[in-house]
């Protein structure tokens, strides 16, 4: 494997967790988010004083940088076409900004994060507002505020050109934020998303706009779970300005431990093996960043350098080129057994991740979007999510996008097709007029 080898403990400070350290590591970033649920592991904040300070500063806008302008509807349509998205709803040009703001990390400590804020040109006053959460990336530039005319920015431009103010969090450890990314940690995805909304609310008046109170929440793949986390927090009243207007997650791994991981371990052809390697490795590495899963990577990986592929510096192609081709080459027997039968920190983390559709009754209009034959997120995730919502008395519907493709990927194709569908649906829920107030 062409990865520079460095002592894992020296580089990342990893160690067996003592009782005192375990307290700090086990804290959910969403401990203050209603609906995040009790932490199944040891739970306490590092100190009441630091927690209070971090909470009071969350959403503070640190900087706003104009990234680009699409001067006309035609420019927006051309941008969307170049990115592979449907330009049919483009009615406005777009101004795009990178916002840097204060939030908290996965242990509840103060940190910073970045995100993309896009606005429709020619519309002022109160704007209907969309929050879009993106799918999995491994390099810190695999984030909406860091790239343009690519898969990542298509949804933001789609919504903004249709008349919506749109926020798209980069997440912790991506974009210009600090640290490494705690992938599939729904509580920290929730806080990063909510705090970007707060920062955007502070910035919007400088442009002659304000944000509508009822947020239209969507997200793709990893971002589908993040969208549900944000929707839950908004409905619970975790922000005094914002509430939940609608939910439209796309192709999520909502039952990550119960359905997604067993599917990638099965190796029966339902999921594409290459991505099975990625998600198996990323699960172990990322969950270990938040909760103690292993003492050293060589316990779970045959080549412990695999852990360094997810440091935010390696690109997707570098990662894919370096990962083994089979799970037997990737994982030790203990590593495979840990994924098959989670315990300790991994089991605790998965219990939180797998609760996104459980134990709450969504009151806003909700649609779950999926594509038949999804090769990365088994469609059973969506079925399980819908069943959990229905069992709790929620009225949600499943939208089957069909067998769509985007550069041979039905998973990616679902994001493209769903974006066009969700734009139309959101447009029926809000009247797109300048100054429209609830």
Handedness of CA 237, 104, 412, 127 (dihedral sign): positive
Strand arrangement, sheet containing 61-70: 61-70, 94-104, 110-120, 165-169, 125-133, 209-220, 243-250, 366-370, 396-400
Q: Token pair for residue 28?
A: 């959910």
Q: What is the pLDDT of residue 316?
A: 92
- Mean pLDDT for back-to-back runs of 10 residues, the chain (438 residues): 40 35 26 30 38 75 98 98 96 98 97 98 97 96 94 97 98 95 97 98 98 98 98 97 98 97 92 93 97 96 96 94 94 98 97 97 98 95 98 97 88 97 94 40
pLDDT of residue 50: 52
CATH number of 1-438: 3.40.50.1820
pLDDT reported for residue 405 = 80
Residue from 41, 11, 7, 37 nearest 24 by CA = 41
pLDDT of 37 reads 32
- Of the candidates 107, 136, 106, 143, the one whose C-alpha atom is nearest the C-alpha of residue 280 is 136
Q: Yes or no: say if 215 and 243 are a contact pair by the CB < 8 Å rule.
A: yes
Distance, CA of 77 to CA of 158 (rounded, Å): 9
Please give the angle made by the CA atoms of 65, 66 and 71, to the nearest 5 degrees: 175
Res 381: pLDDT: 98
Please choose, from the candidates 426, 401, 433, the residue with its C-alpha nearest in 3D space to the C-alpha of residue 414.
401
Bridge partners of residue 113, in order along the sequence: 101
Domain ranges of the chain: 1-438
Q: How far apart are the first and last CA of the chain?
A: 57
User: Rounded to the nearest 10 degrees, what angle do helices 344-353 and 186-203 cross at?
Assistant: 50
Q: Beta strands of 50-169 (E only): which ranges?
A: 61-70, 94-104, 110-120, 125-133, 165-169
Residue 353 CA: distances (Å) to CA of 67, 195, 213, 348, 370 = 33, 20, 27, 9, 19
Of 81, 65, 90, give the one whose Cα is nearest residue 164.
Answer: 90
Q: Which secondary structure element, helix H or strand E, spans residue 389, and what is its range? A: helix 380-391
Residue 21 · residue 218 · CB < 8 Å? no
Alpha helices in 270-314 (DSSP H): 273-290
Give the model's pLDDT for residue 407. Answer: 79
């Amino acid at each position: 494997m062409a990865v520079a080898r460095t002592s894992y403990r020296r580089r990342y400070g990893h160690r067996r967790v003592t009782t005192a350290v375990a307290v700090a590591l086990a804290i959910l970033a969403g401990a203050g988010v209603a609906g995040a649920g009790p932490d199944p592991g040891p739970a306490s904040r590092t100190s009441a004083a630091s927690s209070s300070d971090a909470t009071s500063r969350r959403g503070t806008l640190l900087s706003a940088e104009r990234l680009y302008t699409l001067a006309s509807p035609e420019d927006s349509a051309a941008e969307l076409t170049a990115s592979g998205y449907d330009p049919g709803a483009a009615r406005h040009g777009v101004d795009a900004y990178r916002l840097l703001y204060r939030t908290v990390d996965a242990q509840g400590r103060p940190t910073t994060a970045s995100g993309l804020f896009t606005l429709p040109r020619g519309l002022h006053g109160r704007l209907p507002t969309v929050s879009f959460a993106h799918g999995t990336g491994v390099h810190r530039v695999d984030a909406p505020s860091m790239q343009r005319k690519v898969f990542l920015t298509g949804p933001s431009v789609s919504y903004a050109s249709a008349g919506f103010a749109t926020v798209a969090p980069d997440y912790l450890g991506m974009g210009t934020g600090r640290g490494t990314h705690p992938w599939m940690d729904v509580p920290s995805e929730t806080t990063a998303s909510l705090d970007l909304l707060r920062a955007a609310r502070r910035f919007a008046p400088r442009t002659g706009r304000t944000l509508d109170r009822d947020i239209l929440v969507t997200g793709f793949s990893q971002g589908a779970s993040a969208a549900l986390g944000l929707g839950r927090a908004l409905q619970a009243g975790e922000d005094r300005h914002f509430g939940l207007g609608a939910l439209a997650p796309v192709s999520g791994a909502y039952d990550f431990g119960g359905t997604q991981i067993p599917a990638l371990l099965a190796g029966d052809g339902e999921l594409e093996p290459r991505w099975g390697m990625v998600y198996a490795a990323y699960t172990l590495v990322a969950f270990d960043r938040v909760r103690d899963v292993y003492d050293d990577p060589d316990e779970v990986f045959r080549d412990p350098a695999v852990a360094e592929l997810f440091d935010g510096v390696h690109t997707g192609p570098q990662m894919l080129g370096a990962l083994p081709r089979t799970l037997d080459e990737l994982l030790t027997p203990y590593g495979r057994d840990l994924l098959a039968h989670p315990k300790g920190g991994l089991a605790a983390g998965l219990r939180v991740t797998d609760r996104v559709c459980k134990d709450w009754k969504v009151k806003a209009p909700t649609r779950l979007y999926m594509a038949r034959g999804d090769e990365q997120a088994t469609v059973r995730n969506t079925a399980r999510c819908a069943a959990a919502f229905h069992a709790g008395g929620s009225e949600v519907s499943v939208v089957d996008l069909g067998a769509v493709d985007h550069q041979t990927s039905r998973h990616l194709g679902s994001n493209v097709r769903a974006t066009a569908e969700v734009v139309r649906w959101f447009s029926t829920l809000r009247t797109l007029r300048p100054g429209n107030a609830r």
